[in-house]
Amino acid sequence: MIHPLAVSIVLALTGADATGFDVGDTVIVIRETNLKNDAGKDLTIWPGAQVTLEAIDGDRLEVRNGVVGWLKIKDVVPWKDAIDVLTERIKASPGNASLLRGRGLVWCEIKGYYEGAIDDFDAAIRLDPSAASFAGRARSWRGLKKYDNALIDHDEAIRLDPNNATYFDGRGTTWYSIFQYENKAYFESDRSIELDKAIADFGEAIRLDSANSSYYKHRAEVWTSKGEHCNAIDDYSEAIRRDPTND
């Protein structure tokens, strides 16, 4: 018979837990829920959101998604199971735009199946033309390097919800992607405008949500591309200060 203490030691050493999750796992949110931080502030998290597991405490998981907070175990599944779980939930509730959008996010961000993601976002937009669905479809267009379409959807998401930092971060990422992939259809005479637009969008994201370390990291990458290394160091340092665990 294995002594319970021995089991506890093994779990502690491996990071494994009876929940089936391990610290460091990527898990996917499968229903609308609230991310609760230690300060008691709630942040709404939608189906399809990708978070990293930081700690396990009973039926709660400490996760990181730009910010750190707590979710219930019942609200997430391992990334490899997310498509199947969300598909079953969509079958049970075919008019639920949030679930379609969530599956679209998984197709886009986890599987890299951008065409399938766009199909789901199209369906979600027909049901509910929300800012989140336009923003998700913009990411998928970016994955296909269809930057004109991506910028149109980013602009619509921001028009619908101008106070959402993630939408400015998304558009900034697209501007930076245009620069990185050297798409000469844009601004042939002055490529730096792409970087300036990216910095402006990341700056607005930081203004709206200064706690999110990812926005500083994203802006730091653009500063580096501009050769403005002092600004880059400042932003990298701030990203580390706000979340030392964010790679």
What is the Cα–Cα distance from 175 to 220, expressed in whole angstroms? Answer: 14
| Contact yes or no for 239/246 (Cβ under 8 A) | yes
What is the Cα–Cα distance from 145 to 214, expressed in whole angstroms? Answer: 22
* pLDDT at position 29 over 70: yes
pLDDT at 2: 40
pTM for the complete prediction?
0.80
Question: What DSSP state is assigned to residue 221?
Answer: H
pLDDT at 191: 66
| Contact yes or no for 50/56 (Cβ under 8 A) | no
- Bridge partners (DSSP) of residue 244 are none
Closest CA to 194 of 225, 163, 215, 218: 225
* pLDDT at position 97 over 70: yes
What is the Cα–Cα distance from 78 to 143, expressed in whole angstroms? Answer: 23
Residue bearing the bigger pLDDT, 25 or 221 = 221
pLDDT at 13: 34
> How is residue 15 written in tokens?
């990071």
Q: What is the pLDDT of residues 169-207, one digit of tens each?
A: 999 999 999 998 864 555 444 568 899 999 999 999 999
Mean pLDDT, to the nearest integer, of 159-165? 97
